A = this chain, B = another copy of it.
């Protein structure tokens, strides 16, 4: 597609270009535009019908958006911003630099500007920040036929029209009716009779956006109403936006668990200084806390001075302890993230992790003992390492399983707090046990 467009622009084959762009899918056209030279980008973009231009624009990368905004005239820009769904326009304003934002807001019509500003007032990560104010509102005394006519009249710029919201004259949300229900009813049926009016699932503008994704996962909806503190309907969140949030939240958790300060932009779009900043913080904390393990080694200097062969197993014990601990903490942190585990499950987790760690630690210790003994022929050394490994795995899994729940109970983010602290505690604990067991068994 990119090649074809390139050729058509060079050949100035307007007719073919028109046919191609009219039939294309907006997401595919956006992909093609990303691949074009900057000057061709604007030429192609100017050429698109304004509905299509707005739709394509929403799919572009922040950099390309910024470039286009700087090259379009104010009326061109205005017509695109006005055509965008309001939540996309608000996202645009949020991701552009201040001077670009000024141009965007100046070019938009007053109504769009008001809508954007209204959306921007909600806190980041709140339900309000991901909602759109473009939805279909019905009254309970309308019939299905009248509603269909109403949808036909006002529906074109609504992000979804499949779930319609029924409000009373005070704009309080009193019911929800899907187009599905309407299609399966008679044209003469009254909305008030077919709408769901009890147990309305809704969120408040200030609710965390994670609550929104949880509701989408629990109930199979395609849109959720958002109300203010008095119950007035102020917007809706559609499932495609919730899906994006779900992906962003997962990425955030991946970052946290790898000791990275989370960031939103794609990896390749994030600058080197920014990346270094997001990564050095936790590495620094972990580096300093790892000197605790070094201190323990220094304290037991007499033990490994007497038996230098003990040192060779330190990396294996540390790695295995770290891995076993991170297995447990990952399972528990993920369980918390998807809503399966809460603090009241702490005992259940403990009674799961303890027997598992006996099995896993026992299995590893036996294998380790056998090959250590086969290689070294030193029974006491092999026994020391095997028993230490067994104790390390049990300790690591218990700490790894319990700490995320404890972090949660103390109001910390389990993903952010648990992984680094687990490593530090497990390292220090396993080395201490190792030297203690060596002293006992090998008598040093």
A438, chain B: closest CB distance, angstroms: 14
Are A294's CB and B315's CB within 8 A? yes
CB atoms of B330 and A255 under 8 A apart = yes
B247 touches A217 (CB 8 A): yes
Contacts of A314 in B (CB 8 A): 294, 297, 314-315
Write the chain B residue with the least CB distance to A30: B218
Whether a CB of chain B sits under 8 angstroms from the CB of A122 is: no
Q: Which of these binds chain B: A93-101, A112-120, A271-279?
A: A271-279
Chain A residues within 8 Å of chain B by Cβ, number: 109
For window 135-176 of chain A, which residues contact chain B by CB distance below 8 Å? Answer: 148, 151-152, 155-156, 161-162
A14-31, CB < 8 A from B: 23-25, 27-28
In the assembled complex, the CB of A421 is this many whole angstroms from the nearest CB of chain B, namely 13
Q: Which residue of B lies closest to A299 (CB)?
A: B312
Partner of A283, one of B219, B360, B371: B360
Is the beta-carbon distance between A287 and B330 smaller than 8 angstroms?
A: no
Q: Which residues of B contact A239 (CB under 8 A)?
A: 222, 239-240, 243
At the interface with chain B, which of A38-46, A229-237, A333-341?
A333-341
The copy count of this chain in the complex is: 2
Closest residue of chain B to A219, judged by CB? B27
Q: How far is the CA of A348 from the CA of B275 in the complex (A)?
A: 14
With a cutoff of 8 Å between Cβ atoms, the chain B residues found around residue A373 in the complex are none
Q: Say whether A287 contacts B320, CB under 8 Å.
A: yes
CA–CA, A198 and B25, complex, Å: 9
Measured CB to CB, the nearest residue on chain B to A198 is: B23
State the Cβ distance, A229 to closest chain B Cβ, in Å.
23
Is the C-beta of A126 less than 8 angstroms from some C-beta in chain B? no
Annotate A54-69 by CB proximity to B: 1 below 8 A, 0 otherwise: 0000000000000000
Contact of A275 among B148, B294, B304, B356 (CB under 8 A): B356
Q: How far is the CA of A329 from the CA of B24 in the complex (A)?
A: 37
Is A128 located at the chain interface by the 8 A CB criterion? Answer: no
A82 at the interface (CB under 8 A from B): no
A193 to chain B, nearest CB (A): 14
CB distance from A298 to the nearest CB of B (A): 5
Q: Is there a chain B Cβ closer than 8 Å to A199's Cβ?
A: yes
Q: Which of A175-227 contact B (CB under 8 A)?
A: 179-180, 183-184, 198-199, 201, 216-220, 222
- The contact of A251 among B151, B199, B318, B334, by CB within 8 Å, is B334
When the two chains form their complex, are residues A180 and B199 in contact, meaning their CB atoms are under 8 A apart? no
- A283: which B residues are within 8 A, CB to CB? 320, 323-324, 327, 360, 364, 393
| Chain B residues whose C-beta falls within 8 Å of the C-beta of A222 in the assembled complex | 162, 222, 239-240
- Tell me whether A76 is interfacial, beta carbon within 8 Å: no
B338-A199 in contact (CB<8A): no
Contact A294 B312 (CB under 8 A): yes
Known A294-B314, A297-B312; 10 more pairs at CB < 8 Å? A162-B179, A217-B247, A222-B222, A247-B338, A259-B327, A276-B356, A280-B360, A284-B363, A287-B316, A298-B309
In the A-B complex, the 6 residue pairs with the smallest Cβ-Cβ separation, listed nearest first, are A258-B330, A293-B315, A294-B312, A276-B359, A290-B316, A23-B198
Provide 17 A-B residue pairs closer than 8 Å at the C-beta atoms, listed in order of the A residue: A27-B218, A27-B219, A222-B240, A243-B246, A257-B257, A266-B340, A268-B335, A268-B340, A280-B363, A280-B364, A283-B320, A284-B367, A286-B319, A290-B316, A294-B312, A315-B427, A315-B431
